[in-house]
Structure 1
Amino acid sequence: MTGRGRILVVEDDPRLGPIIRDVLSASWDVELVATRVDALEAALHRLFDVLVVDRRLPDGDGLDVVREVRRFRVTTPALMLTALGEVHDRVSGLDAGANDYLVKPFDFDELNARLRVLTRGADALGRVVEIGGWSFYPEDHTVHSPYSGRVALTDRESELLAILAAEPDRVFTREQLLSAVFERGEQVGTVDTYVHYIRRKTERDLIATVRGRGYRLGTPA
């Protein structure tokens, strides 16, 4: 794990795509794909801090990528890249679930600035997250119980709970949580072990099991 943010770039231009990847790689871990199908595969099965999606793809509209991930309750911020700069084009992108819109040609300093703005909200998670009657403080690695006060979490327990809390309606697979929180070489059973640790320290309903799919944030009393 690098500690850097992760970006999915969806761009089919054989020259522009690698340039975007190389420029952003100075600050981010970047995955570059060129089709709608590959974009959906990546966005729905791996974790990213932000999506950068071109409108015109060889197998469809980039807006369909955003619509589809929103349908699965993936709330990862999305920025659309496009040559379509009319007002109605920007409105259609925002209506589809995009968070921002940047018209080609663009300046990379502006792209980086917009990405910082889109991901700034994730940093705010470090203050307090209410989970039912519990209060989670990611920066402090603690959960405050409505009954017994402060409960300390380990780094890994806190990272795991923070991911679930960032998108409370999303079901995360064990594989997604494994790649986001744990070191390479760990087995998916490690995720189950740490979910057990968190539940034992707090209560079982803090993390919900979705049978056959994975885990999501729970709704404890």
Structure 2
Amino acid sequence: MLSLLLLEDDQRLGAITRDILTLDWSVTWVTSLADARTALTTGVFDVAVFDRRLSDGDSTELISWLRHRHDTMPILMLTALGQLDDRVSGLDAGANDYLTKPFEFEELAARLRALTRDYSSTHEGIDIGSWAYYPATGALESPYTGRILLTEKENALLNVLASHPDTAFTRSQLLGRVFEHGEQEGTVDTYVHYIRRKADRDLIQTVRGVGYQLGTPA
């Protein structure tokens, strides 16, 4: 089994999450930032699930500490804070993915499998500058921070751009290809923002007067 560090200070949710994940993972459950830092200093984990707001602080502090140590362990953040600014700040701190509470355990398990899957040996990738993109699984491999998992809509949007790297798409074109009927063109801008914040700003290029095109991040 792969090892998983669970940081959750809600005793009931933590116990349920641990018991469910233990079916497929070797789970270490801690309830504070201090205990998590100790576990990470003394042990090695394949993936981590961090609650955001804890009794002794915000787990973004712990994520930043890990990334400054050049630790590329995939991290999924669980948060009751679902606003754009909250998600962006978590991703900026170095989280690879986020899931808003309340959540379904099936989705949590699927995201963890995606974060730890060996994409390089089982799925064909597309080079985007120095990055690698795996549309079949919605993953990006960063040359700096490791694996980043895209949501379904983020992946669909990037896949359109990556399938036609020399084409500049209008917002209307992307809206029609990726999103449901009734969405506004501003939705495209929002998801471009999500991808840039999660990955690299140069991953998607803004073409003035047209829309968006695949970029070439360093």
Alpha-carbon contact 1:40-1:69 (below 8 Å) kept: no
- Residue 39 of structure 1 corresponds to 36
- Residue 11 of structure 1 corresponds to 8
RMSD (Å) for aligned C-alpha atoms: 2.2
User: What TM-score do the two structures reach when normalised by structure 2?
Assistant: 0.54
1:72-221 pair list within 5 angstroms: 72-121=69-118, 124=120
Count of residue correspondences: 126
SS at match of 2:70: coil
In 2, Cα distance between equivalents of 1:67 and 1:126? 30
Which runs of at least 4 in structure 1 moved beyond 6 Å after TM superposition?
A: none
In 2, Cα distance between equivalents of 1:61 and 1:87? 17
Residue in structure 2 matching 1:69, options 57, 61, 66:
66
- Residue 195 of structure 2 corresponds to none
Letter in 2 for 1:21: R
In 2, Cα distance between equivalents of 1:54 and 1:15? 13
In 1, Cα distance between equivalents of 2:90 and 2:99? 11
In 1, Cα distance between equivalents of 2:85 and 2:27? 30
- Residue 148 of structure 2 corresponds to none
- Residue 181 of structure 1 corresponds to none
User: What TM-score do the two structures reach when normalised by structure 1?
Assistant: 0.54
In 1, Cα distance between equivalents of 2:37 and 2:61? 9
SS at match of 2:76: strand
Deviation of the 1:29 alpha carbon: 0.3
SS at match of 1:69: helix
Deviation of the 1:73 alpha carbon: 1.0
Deviation of the 1:120 alpha carbon: 1.2
In 1, Cα distance between equivalents of 2:39 and 2:64? 15
The percent identity for this pair of structures is 52
Uncovered stretches (5+) of structure 1, i.e. residues with no partner: 128-167, 170-221
What whole-Å deviation, never above 9, does each CA across 1:63-106 have from its counterpart, x for those lacking one?
11111111111110000001000011110000000000000000
SS at match of 2:117: helix
In 2, Cα distance between equivalents of 1:105 and 1:80? 13
Uncovered stretches (5+) of structure 2, i.e. residues with no partner: 124-143, 146-218
- Residue 55 of structure 1 corresponds to 52
Deviation of the 1:41 alpha carbon: 1.2
In 1, Cα distance between equivalents of 2:104 and 2:34? 28
Deviation of the 1:126 alpha carbon: 9.2
